Amino acid sequence: MRGNDSYEMAFADYTVKGNVFEYAIGFFAESCYKLTAKKFVFGAKQGIMRQRKLKSFKKWFNDYVAGFYGDDKYVNANLKLKEQHSLRVCKEMLYLVKELGLEKEQRLLAETIALFHDVGRFKQFVRYKTYTDHKSIDHSLLGIKVLQETNVLDGLQRNEKQLIRKAIEYHGQKELPGRLDGDCLLFCQLIRDADKLDVYYVVARYCRQYRRNPAKFSLELEFPDKPTYTPAVVEDILKGRRTSYSKLRVLNDMRLLQLGWVYDVNFAATLKRIKKRGFLQEIFGFLPETKEIEKVKETILSYVNLRIKKKRKL
Ligand SMILES: [Fe+2]
């Protein structure tokens, strides 16, 4: 069903303004599930990334990020968001590589990608005071530049550096280029799934905050919170196709779009985690109880269950 289709998705990003959170929504679509059972070209002979290398990357990352903190609380709060996000994505990545049964060297490389995928965010925020790329700079490319300028990847083999750079470059793009295959595709898909897991975590957390106390909710809502939704958005989700951001009118449309992210997930292991953590239920809890929404729920949940049931790792 997914074949070579690609799905557009909204990627929720967030910033803190004093006590005020705001969502900045960017788009990316993702080419889905094209990974074949092809054996990875990355092997022990081609470059061994040892555990100590990863340890040194973690230390470098901590020192690098620490250098951006200053007296400005607003800047500090926003830097903290991305620092914590990066570390959580590392954990999501560890879960994924374990579930997928990847080789040790691949695990280390995947975790390095997770650690560095948003390394451009810190310079971006300090310079532009925003995480919105189209208002500032492409944070993925900036991240690659940071890695190059600081030579932090020195000591890795050329193909390892290349895989890291490509995964970072493509992690936030609308869709992955169709020409990718092998390890490059694998690591690109991994970081997009790991990143998405944390976006769901953040969305679910905000849902809970909103539920607890809507009046005190500190997130700036992009759309009006009305008890309606746009039929065209529902139709897109029911048909398993991308929803255009331009169709969104009310907050429930955004929630529907977030539910539709499951179509963009590459690995069943990611869906398993999304399900286990109740992210979807959390979002469904906000939608009106209508027959249409019930149908959306059925569609999304059976899609997720089917993918999980197939137990196809890659
Ligand atoms: Fe990220």
CATH number (domain holding residue 128)? 1.10.3210.10
C-alpha–C-alpha distance, residues 160 and 46, integer Å: 9
Query: Would the pLDDT of 64 be above 80?
Result: yes
- For residue 217, the model assigns a pLDDT of 64
Cα of 228 vs centre of ligand 1, distance in Å, is: 31
Q: Bigger pLDDT: 1 or 291?
A: 291
pLDDT at position 83 over 80:
yes
pLDDT of residue 197: 95
**Are 183 and 265 within one domain?**
no
User: Which uninterrupted H or E stretch holds 198?
Assistant: helix 182-212
Q: In the listed set 193, 208, 228, which residue is the last one of a domain according to the structure? A: 193
pLDDT score, position 145: 97
Structural domain includes residue 120? yes
Are residues 165 and 273 both part of a single domain?
no
Assigned domain for 208 exists? no
- pLDDT grade, residue 203 (50/70/90)? confident
Q: Give the Å distance between the CA of 125 and the centre of ligand 1.
A: 14
- Strands of the sheet containing 20-31, edge to edge, are 6-17, 20-31, 219-220
Q: Are residues 176 and 228 in the same domain?
A: no
Is the Cβ–Cβ distance between 154 and 102 less than 8 Å?
A: no
Task: Give the H/E segment covering residue 144.
Answer: helix 139-150
**By C-alpha distance, which of 285, 293, 280, 281 is closest to 228?**
293
> Measured in angstroms, how far is the CA atom of residue 182 from the centroid of ligand 1?
22
Domain assignment of residue 62, given as a range: 7-193
User: Which comes out higher in pLDDT, residue 40 or 170?
Assistant: 170
Residues 23, 171: one domain? yes
pLDDT of residue 19: 32
Distance 150 CA to ligand 1 centre (A): 20
Residue 158 in any domain: the answer is yes
Residues 34 and 158 in one domain: yes
This prediction's pTM: 0.79
224 and 141, same domain (yes or no): no
Q: What are phi and psi of 220, to 5 degrees?
A: -75, 120
Cα-Cα-Cα-Cα dihedral of 294, 174, 133, 21, to 10°? 10
How far does the centroid of ligand 1 lie from the alpha carbon of residue 195, in Å?
Answer: 5
Region 8-37: what's the mean pLDDT? Answer: 34
What is the distance, to the nearest Å, from the Cα of residue 201 to the centroid of all Cα atoms in its chain? 10
Q: Residue 39's pLDDT band (boundaries 50, 70, 90)?
A: very low
pLDDT at 3: 29
- 51 occurs within a structural domain: yes
Please indicate, yes or no, whether residues 144 and 225 belong to a single structural domain of this protein.
Answer: no
Q: Cα(290) to centroid of ligand 1, in Å? A: 34
Average confidence (pLDDT) over 300-305: 94
What is the reported pLDDT for 218? Answer: 57
- Percent of the chain whose pLDDT exceeds 90: 59
Q: State the DSSP H helix or E strand holding residue 253, giving kind and residue range, or none if neither.
A: helix 251-259
Statement: residue 2 has pLDDT above 90: no
Residue 47 CA to ligand 1 centre (angstroms): 26
pLDDT recorded at residue 49:
54
Looking at 151, 175, 193, which one is the last position of a domain? 193
* Mean pLDDT (whole number) for 55-81: 94
In a domain, 115, yes or no: yes
Going from the Cα of 151 to the center of ligand 1, the distance in angstroms, rounded, reads 22
Last residue of a domain, one of 158, 193, 228: 193
- Structure confidence by residue, pLDDT tens digits, 107-166: 999 999 999 999 999 999 999 998 888 889 999 999 999 999 999 999 899 999 999 999
Residues 244 and 117 in one domain: no
User: Which pLDDT belongs to residue 298?
Assistant: 95
The span from the CA of 305 to the CA of 252, in Å, is 23
Q: What is the mean pLDDT of the chain?
A: 82
Residue 198 domain flag: no
In terms of domains, do 116 and 159 share one? yes
User: Shortest CA distance to 157 belongs to which of 105, 87, 120?
Assistant: 105
Cα 309 to middle of ligand 1, angstroms = 28
Out of 50-54, 172-176, 305-309, the most confident range is 305-309
CA angle 302, 304, 310 (to 5 degrees): 100
How many Cβ atoms from other residues are within 10 Å of residue 66's Cβ? Answer: 11
Distance from the alpha carbon of residue 172 to the mean position of ligand 1, in angstroms = 8
**What pLDDT does residue 311 have?**
64
Ligand 1 centroid–CA 89 distance in Å is 7
Do residue 189 and residue 225 come from a single domain? no
3-state DSSP helix/strand/coil % of the chain, to nearest 5 = 60, 10, 30
Q: Residue 214: exposed, middle, or buried by beta-carbon count in 10 A (0-12, 13-18, 19+)?
A: exposed
Q: Mean pLDDT across the stretch 43-51?
A: 55
Q: How many domains does the chain have?
A: 2
Distance 294 CA to ligand 1 centre (A): 31
Please give the backbone phi and psi of residue 30, each rounded to the nearest 5 degrees, phi first: -135, 130
> Same domain, yes or no, for 17 and 102?
yes
Give a yes or no: residue 215 inside a domain. Answer: no
Q: Residue 278's pLDDT is what?
A: 92
Asked if 140 and 255 sit in the same domain, the reply is no
Would the pLDDT of 1 be above 60? no
Give domain status of residue 38, yes or no: yes
Give the whole-number percent of the chain exceeding pLDDT 70.
81
Range with the lowest mean pLDDT among 47-56, 112-121, 177-186?
47-56
Please give the C-alpha separations between residue 79 and each of 74, 103, 228, 291, in angstroms, as whole numbers: 9, 33, 35, 43
Q: What span, in angstroms and rounded, lies between the C-alpha atoms of 16 and 29?
A: 26
* pLDDT tens-digit readout, 215-247: 766 555 678 888 999 999 999 999 988 788 889
